[in-house]
Structure 1
Amino acid sequence: MAETKQETKNTITLKGSAQLVSEFFYYGINSILYQRGIFPPDYFTYKQEYGLTLFVTTDKEVKTYLNNVLSQIKNWLEAGEIQRLVLVVTSVDSKEVLEKWDFTIQNEPGVQTENGKEKVGNKDLKTIQKEMRDVIRQITACVTFLPLLDCLCSFDLLVYTHQNCEVPEKWAESAPCFIANSEEVRLKSFSTAVHRVDACVSYKA
């Protein structure tokens, strides 16, 4: 019995992986918004996740926006349609792109299909959460070297999908965002055994 329990615990389904990755994006995006001062500190409350104290927005509009985007991302993760999620930080006055937080998503090779239905991977949940915690810690640590955002800034989320992917009506096509004279820092990656996410931040030097 013990062996069966252990096996079940380590099995990550495609749906389970999509849920884990979209949850990570929720906390990761909130951490960036808080650490980079996109909104004032009183727009946030704190929550324990991944063994860390994380800050999440209390603003209704921002919460609705994030929930809408991330529920769609979860669907695209399950369908294998998504390639990248990019958080873009822009100056409100000049419209200049100041920072880009880039999360590249890949399907892990060698993932099994269970009974011809759903892809599954094998990895301990605690190990996955530790890897996610390490990425969030790096996001927090980035504040020490990223240039101060000393102007009013806004953020946007860009999602890169496969060409033939169906896009909801309210979503709009957008041009790629470039940063002139940019520097790039690669962050750690994490894997659910079904999806792998690589992270980096680009900023105006």
Structure 2
Amino acid sequence: MASKNATKDIITLRGSTAIVSEFFGYAANSILYNRGVYLAETFGRVKKYGLPLLLSQDEGVKTFIANLNTQLSEWLEAGKLQRIVLVIMNKDTNEVLERWNFSIETDNEVVEKGVSREKSDKEIMREIQAIMKQIASSITYLPCLDEPCIFDVLAYTDTDVEVPFTWTESDPKLIDNPQMVKLHSFDTKIHKVDTLVSYKNDEWDEQ
């Protein structure tokens, strides 16, 4: 009689790094699509995390996110990345309208000693799936962005990290008296990612 074995998936630092950096690429594309930063027809449909997702076909955006993920992977694997923030701004005035904040906690023992952790790939995928669904439904809880917008990405790293020449020092691009919505988090057992969106609310300002 066959026995049923419950197995856990082994998560290494490199594997966790790949999961987190890949997640950010898909999340960034989903935010840019759902918030209308680029025209809907410039996105192509793919399936990921068991969901239909949209990826930008704009060569500039594709190159930006690919280069970004390469750098994030380096910082993640070194345990030096604390937070990633995708900022949406008014194209004409540079006023910050939304900040999509991804805070990252790293298991330093894994970084320092090279040990691995255990967690089911399916469980991680379900957690990421929940975040992607919340991003997709963001139009229901965020104000409309009627004006043309642009985006930028801020990376918060440990102070001893050497900043690549392709990056520049930036102000935090904060929003005065923002409204905030906390989204789901996911945890590979090596990297935990908490997601929060803060946004400018004109109706709140007028009260």
TM-score by length of 1: 0.92
1:6 maps to amino acid? T
Contact 2:31 2:135 survives alignment (8 Å): yes
Residue 49 of structure 2: aligned partner: 50
Relative to 1, partners in 2 of residues 1:133 and 1:175: Cα closer, same or farther, differing over 3 Å?
Answer: same
1:49 maps to amino acid? K
2:116 maps to amino acid? V
The answer on 1:201 being equivalent to 2:197 is yes
Q: Which has the higher strand share?
A: 1
Contact 2:110 2:190 survives alignment (8 Å): no
Following TM superposition, the consecutive aligned residue runs of length 4 or more in structure 1 with deviations greater than 6 angstroms are 2-5
**Separation in 2, partners of 1:117, 1:201:** 34
Contact 2:90 2:97 survives alignment (8 Å): yes
Contact 1:82 1:162 survives alignment (8 Å): yes
Residue 114 of structure 2: aligned partner: 118
- Cα offset for 1:5? 9.7
- Cα offset for 1:181? 2.7
Contact 1:119 1:194 survives alignment (8 Å): no
Unmatched runs of 5 consecutive residues or more in structure 2: 202-207
2:140 maps to amino acid? T
Contact 2:131 2:184 survives alignment (8 Å): yes
**Separation in 1, partners of 2:39, 2:15:** 33
Q: Pairwise mapping of residues 77-156 of structure 1 onto structure 2 (< 5 A)?
A: 77-108=76-107, 118-156=114-152
Superposed CA deviations along residues 123-164 of structure 1, whole A, max 9, x for unmatched, are: 000100110000110111221010000000000000000000
The answer on 1:6 being equivalent to 2:7 is yes
SS where residue 119 of structure 1 aligns? coil
Q: Output the aligned Cα RMSD.
A: 1.9
Unmatched runs of 5 consecutive residues or more in structure 1: none
- Aligned residue pairs total 199
The answer on 1:186 being equivalent to 2:182 is yes
- Cα offset for 1:119? 3.1
